[in-house]
Structure 1
Amino acid sequence: MTINPAQNSRPSRRKLPLVKTLATLATAAVLSMSQAHATIVDIDFEDSAFSDVSLFVNGDTVEYKNVLFKTESLDDGLSGALIDGSDPFTFFNLGFPGNNISAYYAAVNNGWFSIQHKIAGAGIRLTGLDFSFIAPLPGFLNFTVGQLVVAGQKADGSFNFASRDFAGQDAQGNWQFDTWNSISSDLGGGKFTNISVLACLYTDTGACVFVDNNQAQFAVDNLAVDVAAPATVGLFALSLAGLFAANRRRQQAK
Structure 2
Amino acid sequence: MQRHLTRIKTLACGTLLGAAALLAAPAHASLASFETSPPKVYDHGQTFQDGALTFTAQLATYLQEAGFSEGLGGVVLDSGNPNSCGAVNDCPSGTTGNFYAGVNDGSVNVERAGGFYALRSLRFSFFTPIGGIDDGSYGQLVLTGTTTDGLTVTRSADFAGQDNDGHFMFSTWTLDDDFAALKLSNLNISACLFDGNGGCYNMAEWAPFAAQFAIDDLQVDIPLPGSAPLLLLGLAGLAVLRRRAH
TM-score (normalised: structure 1) = 0.77
Question: d(CA) in 2 for partners of 1:81 and 1:208?
Answer: 24
Residue 94 of structure 2 corresponds to residue 105 of structure 1: no
Residue type of the alignment partner of 2:140: Q
Q: In the superposition, relative to structure 1, how do residues 186 and 211 fare at CA in structure 2: closer, same or farther (>3 Å)? A: farther
In structure 2, the residue matched to 1:45 is: 34
SS in 1 for 2:74: strand
Contact 1:160 1:188 survives alignment (8 Å): no
SS in 1 for 2:18: helix
In structure 2, the residue matched to 1:55 is: 41
In structure 2, the residue matched to 1:118 is: 113
Residue 215 of structure 2 corresponds to residue 223 of structure 1: no
Residue 155 of structure 2 corresponds to residue 162 of structure 1: yes
In structure 2, the residue matched to 1:200 is: 192
Contact 1:81 1:106 survives alignment (8 Å): yes
Question: d(CA) in 2 for partners of 1:101 and 1:12?
Answer: 62
Q: How many residues align?
A: 232
In structure 1, the residue matched to 2:201 is: 209
Question: d(CA) in 2 for partners of 1:16 and 1:148?
Answer: 53
Question: d(CA) in 2 for partners of 1:113 and 1:227?
Answer: 20
SS in 1 for 2:191: strand
In structure 2, the residue matched to 1:128 is: 121
Deviations 1:92-136 (A, max 9, x none): 12122133231111111222112222114x3x2111111111111
Contact 2:31 2:217 survives alignment (8 Å): yes
Contact 1:79 1:112 survives alignment (8 Å): yes
Residue 77 of structure 2 corresponds to residue 83 of structure 1: yes
Computed over aligned residues only, the root mean square deviation of the Cα atoms, in angstroms, reads 3.1
Contact 1:86 1:100 survives alignment (8 Å): no
In structure 2, the residue matched to 1:178 is: 171
TM-score (normalised: structure 2) = 0.79
Give the CA deviation at 1:12: 10
Greater radius of gyration (CA): 1
Give the CA deviation at 1:171: 2.9
Higher RCO (C-alpha 8 Å, min separation 6): 2
Question: d(CA) in 1 for partners of 2:15 and 2:54?
Answer: 37
Q: In the superposition, relative to structure 1, how do residues 175 and 158 fare at CA in structure 2: closer, same or farther (>3 Å)? A: same
Q: In the superposition, relative to structure 1, how do residues 240 and 55 fare at CA in structure 2: closer, same or farther (>3 Å)? A: same
Deviations 1:149-195 (A, max 9, x none): 111112343311111110111232211111111x1426373222211
Stretches of structure 2 that go unaligned for 5 or more consecutive residues are 61-68
Question: d(CA) in 1 for partners of 2:158 and 2:178?
Answer: 14
Comparing 20-29 and 68-77, the one that deviates more: 20-29
In structure 1, the residue matched to 2:59 is: 73
Question: d(CA) in 1 for partners of 2:178 and 2:85?
Answer: 33
Deviations 1:19-54 (A, max 9, x none): 488347415514632x42xx111011111xx21x72
Stretches of structure 1 that go unaligned for 5 or more consecutive residues are 1-5, 249-254
Contact 1:126 1:184 survives alignment (8 Å): no
Residue type of the alignment partner of 2:232: A
Question: d(CA) in 1 for partners of 2:8 and 2:178?
Answer: 45
Question: d(CA) in 2 for partners of 1:187 and 1:239?
Answer: 27
Residue type of the alignment partner of 1:68: T
SS in 1 for 2:24: helix
Question: d(CA) in 1 for partners of 2:91 and 2:229?
Answer: 46
In structure 1, the residue matched to 2:65 is: none
Question: d(CA) in 1 for partners of 2:127 and 2:114?
Answer: 33
Q: In the superposition, relative to structure 1, how do residues 138 and 235 fare at CA in structure 2: closer, same or farther (>3 Å)? A: same
Question: d(CA) in 1 for partners of 2:154 and 2:4?
Answer: 52
